[in-house]
Amino acid sequence: MSKGLPKRSENYPEWYNELVKRADLAENSAVRGCMVIKPYGFSIWEKMQATLDQMFKDTGHVNAYFPLFIPKSYLSREASHVEGFAKECAVVTHYRLKNAPDGSGVIVDPEAKLEEELIVRPTSETVIWSTYKNWIQSYRDLPLLINQWANVVRWEMRTRLFLRTTEFLWQEGHTAHANAAEAIAETEQMLEVYATFAEQFMALPVIRGRKTANERFAGAVDTYCIEALMQDGKALQAGTSHFLGQNFAKAFDVRFASQDQKLDYVWGTSWGVSTRLVGALIMAHSDDEGLVLPPKLAPIQVVIVPIFRSNEELTRISETAQAIRKNLLAKGISVKYDDRDTYKPGWKFTEYEMKGVPVRLAIGPKDMDNGTVEVARRDTREKMTMSREGIEPKIAQLLTDIQENIYQRAWAFRQENTVRVDSYGEFKELLDRKGGFLLAHWDGTSETEEKIKEETKATIRCIPLDAEEEPGACVYTGKPSAQRVVFARNY
């Protein structure tokens, strides 16, 4: 099964594509740029969703649902928003089909043309703020803390499964506040929720930072982000949280009466993560044998494979396997017992390695005689023999260890590949040789940022929140700079 999975060191993009396919995660659909998320891939997204949804609720948010379609004119209401989004939209112009006169199928009915075209939402700020206008009159209506799980469409020219697709699934939070400080606190809180999720569940260390003006969300005053490093040395933006100021409130005339009866525009935030996180998860941890999943997001945490030649052997092994399964389930661990006789154990081993199941237990006749179980962990591919007696707490501990080990490995990789760079020659050389996060001084101008991007394809991923003040000289112009920023090539 794993035969022919390209090696990461030889062809990383092809390794990724093949892995997504072989691990049954997703595939391209007949519709250009749209993917089909297959059951196994979707079950990873479901685990992410469930975890994030609880984190949003724990921070006081509620879910709602807003329309898929946005009237075309809404997009123009916020000047910079339209520049960022209007260019890549799916446009609905008609609402009916009819039979072709020649009987060849159906055609668009020219009589059924919409007066105003509808845009399939690329993001929902406009439709949501047009609604908030009716929901917010007074300070009593604030804060409004709403999240939506939805599909969005951005017409992309080059797509890649999970990482960049025309349609994708995401959540978008849209909150409204009585003052700037509260809105900024919300923006920062949600960035921290994303960072916590990435680190504690995805086992993915991230840099928390702010975007430069060039990379800011269209319509935001400030964009915060978390940035992760993939195994090929490229950066991946894993989540963004935007302080919108009063931009959308002004565009849609959303005002509130304050406690002292003054009328003011409402302050807003928005924040989102998407199915792109599944791509990040795959690329951050997996190896040449297949997926490596952190236990907290693995749809199957433990698989049990019986090794048997006769039905009698299977019956005997199954009794033990089912008892272990039951005890692990009672500990909240998801377990699959794969006793199919249509596939050989070796085939199953390869299959579950490809699918990234963190722990595999194998039980054969000898194990039965010896009271043992063979335990294999996916992250290090180590095998060990454990006593069957009291194995359950050891497996629970092993899952915790694997979660931690995957994080530590990703952290060590990022450490190795985060380099302070002070000359432009070294900057370019490093980017070409191994990529990574380059910590360099920058003079703060969009012009320099764009020139570096043109010449090296590296962008400023973020201005880190925790950076020390450190006076220096811009790596490109030599002009003064107050702190280092993070450069990288990116997805």
Query: What span, in angstroms and rounded, lies between the C-alpha atoms of 284 and 233?
Result: 10
Kindly write out the interface string for residues 131-150 of this chain, putting x where it contacts its own copies by CB under 8 A and - elsewhere: x--x-----x-----x---x
Kindly write out the interface string for residues 312-351 of this chain, putting x where it contacts its own copies by CB under 8 A and - elsewhere: ------------------------------x---------
**Under rule CB under 8 A, which residues in 150-179 are in contact with its own copies?**
150-151, 153, 155, 167, 169
What is the token pair recorded at 169?
A: 């699934």
- State yes or no: cis peptide before 143, omega within 30 of 0: yes
Torsion from C-alpha of 10, 16, 18, 19, nearest 10 degrees: 120
Query: What span, in angstroms and rounded, lies between the C-alpha atoms of 491 and 16?
Result: 13
**How many chain residues bind its own copies (CB under 8 A)?**
63
Q: Determine if 30 is a binding residue for its own copies (CB under 8 A).
A: yes
| Minimum CB–partner distance for residue 137 and its own copies (Å) | 14
Q: Determine if 43 is a binding residue for its own copies (CB under 8 A).
A: yes
The smaller minimum CB distance to its own copies, of residues 120 and 292, is found at: 120
Q: Which of 15, 42, 217, 256 binds its own copies (CB under 8 A)?
A: 42
**Under rule CB under 8 A, which residues in 60-99 are in contact with its own copies?**
62-76, 82, 86-98
The smaller minimum CB distance to its own copies, of residues 29 and 51, is found at: 29
Q: Determine if 117 is a binding residue for its own copies (CB under 8 A).
A: yes
Q: Do residues 416 and 442 touch, judged by C-beta distance below 8 A?
A: no
Q: Do residues 24 and 41 touch, judged by C-beta distance below 8 A?
A: yes
Q: Which of 21, 38, 377, 453 binds its own copies (CB under 8 A)?
A: 38
| Minimum CB–partner distance for residue 337 and its own copies (Å) | 15
**Under rule CB under 8 A, which residues in 203-232 are in contact with its own copies?**
none
Q: Determine if 106 is a binding residue for its own copies (CB under 8 A).
A: yes
Q: Which stretch binds its own copies (CB under 8 A): 128-136, 403-411, 448-456, 476-484?
A: 128-136
Q: Which of 2, 17, 29, 327 binds its own copies (CB under 8 A)?
A: 29
Q: Do residues 440 and 429 touch, judged by C-beta distance below 8 A?
A: no
74 closest CA partner among 113, 132, 34, 156: 132
| Minimum CB–partner distance for residue 314 and its own copies (Å) | 19
Question: HEC states along 103-163?
Answer: CCCEEECCCCEEEEEEEECCCCHHHHHHHHHHHCCEHHHCCEEEEEEEEEECCCCCCECCC
333 closest CA partner among 357, 305, 309: 357
What is the token pair recorded at 277?
A: 């996180």
Question: What is the C-alpha end-to-end distance of the chain, expressed in Å?
Answer: 28
Q: List CB contacts of 164: < 8 A, sequence separation 6 or more.
A: 156, 158, 276, 491
The smaller minimum CB distance to its own copies, of residues 43 and 200, is found at: 43
The smaller minimum CB distance to its own copies, of residues 340 and 381, is found at: 340
Summarize as ranges the residues that interact with its own copies (CB under 8 A): 27, 29-31, 34-39, 42-43, 45-46, 62-76, 82, 86-98, 105-106, 108, 117-120, 127, 130-131, 134, 140, 146, 150-151, 153, 155, 167, 169, 342
